[in-house]
Amino acid sequence: MKELLRELCGIPGPSGNEDCIREAIRKAVEGMADDLRTDALGNLILRKGSGDRKLMLAAHMDEIGLIVTHVEENGFLRFGTIGGIAPVALVGQRVQFLDGSLGVIGCEKVDDRKDLKQEHLFIDVRNGSNRRVGDVCCPVGGAEFDGDFVVSRALDDRVGCVVLIETLRRLCAEGFQGAEVYFVFTVQEELGLRGAHTATFGVKPDVGIAVDVTVAGDTPKAKSTSLRLGKGCAIKVKDHSVITTPAVRRKLQKIAEERGIPYQLEVLEQGGTDAGAIQLTCGGIPTGAVSVPVRYVHTPSETAHMGDVEACVNLLVQFIKEA
């Protein structure tokens, strides 16, 4: 999984520009799908097996990024955000445009750092004439491993994509054919769970599970949350977009406890995942969510523990087998 995570985290794919990351995932799952298609919005939808009931697993391919809104006469670029990014996380960062060119985020003089706003920031590309309004870019930085810890940009949600791919690999290795399972790699999650809406309408599953990251609470003076890196996958109870279906959540917990899979319960006060879109589609879908705890979410140095990733895979493999 480390090599796959390193590969996927190195590919830029801000919301609405997922072509390259979708192609990489398509290559990673070649030969394992009974059916593989891309829908009109750009979601990659893989079907494995067949049966009377449909199970859908979803992880989003897109990542946060920046979009050029104005090119000044001196060549510096003003920009907006794609997804939620705090200005303090951007100052001094290097960014890469989809054509490979680099920029550096600079900041106007601000008397008090507490007053820092996005309008004070600009991108220095040294030759702004080559850039246009609408060009997009992402922070520079691929996955680096320190023992069982991984630090990277775009763990949100390339790590979820890796969980889905590894789950599929293990099921294929066991020759599993017991259910009709859809592995969906969604687009534009960071802009409002858009891809999950259209994908769920297309699949019409009986049960949906979203796989994403969540905010760890194990750093100094972090917001009050019980989630810790290295303590297992997080089974979601609630976030800003969803209250997971109790029966699905209890089933995930029961499997984890019976199989000795380490897990934590997640209540996230802000933020949401594709679970929120899945649950409200097609008249309502019983929905659960499994998360990887991550420090420094929506920064270029998101940090996770591979043991938690492994726990997510083990839980989903067993959940599918019992579906």
Alpha helices in the chain (DSSP H): 2-9, 19-28, 155-173, 194-203, 246-259, 274-279, 306-321
Ramachandran area for residue 169 (φ above 0: left; ψ -120 to 50: alpha; else beta): alpha
Question: Considering just the CA atoms, what is the radius of gyration of the chain in Å?
Answer: 20
- Is 140 strand, coil or helix? coil
End-to-end Cα, the chain, rounded Å: 25
Average pLDDT over residues 226-243: 94
User: What is the pTM for the complete model shown?
Assistant: 0.94
294-304: per-residue pLDDT in tens?
Answer: 999 999 999 99
Q: Return the minimum-mean-pLDDT range out of 8-17, 172-181, 200-209, 258-267.
A: 172-181
Distance (Å, rounded) from C-alpha 191 to C-alpha 137?
Answer: 16
**HSE-CB for 185 with a 13 A CA cutoff:** 33
Which residue type does 33 have?
A: A
269 labelled catalytic: no
pLDDT score for 214? 95
The answer to whether the CB of 199 falls within 8 A of the CB of 277 is: no
pLDDT score for 115? 77
pLDDT over 90 at 114, yes or no: no
pLDDT score for 128? 61
Q: What is the mean pLDDT of the chain?
A: 92
Q: Which residues contact 83 (CB under 8 A, 6 or more apart)?
A: 14, 15, 63, 64, 65, 190, 191, 298
Average pLDDT over residues 73-96: 90
Strand-pair partners of 65: 82
Work out the pLDDT band at 82, boundaries 50, 70, 90: very high
Vertex 64: Cα angle to 309 and 17 (nearest 5): 105
**HSE-CB for 242 with a 13 A CA cutoff:** 29
Work out the pLDDT band at 141, boundaries 50, 70, 90: confident
pLDDT over 80 at 154, yes or no: yes
- Is the peptide bond prior to 157 cis by the omega test (within 30 degrees of 0)? yes
Distance (Å, rounded) from C-alpha 269 to C-alpha 261?
Answer: 25
pLDDT over 90 at 191, yes or no: yes
49-69: per-residue pLDDT in tens?
Answer: 888 889 999 999 999 999 999
Q: Return the minimum-mean-pLDDT range out of 193-202, 215-224, 231-240.
A: 215-224
In percent, the amount of the chain with pLDDT more than 70 equals 99
Residue among 189, 190, 302, 310 flagged as catalytic: 189
Domains of the chain: 2-63+143-321 (3.40.630.10), 65-139 (2.40.30.40)
Vertex 239: Cα angle to 245 and 294 (nearest 5): 115
pLDDT score for 15? 95
Of 21, 56, 317, the closest CA to residue 172 belongs to: 317
Of 78, 76, 77, 80, the closest CA to residue 64 belongs to: 80
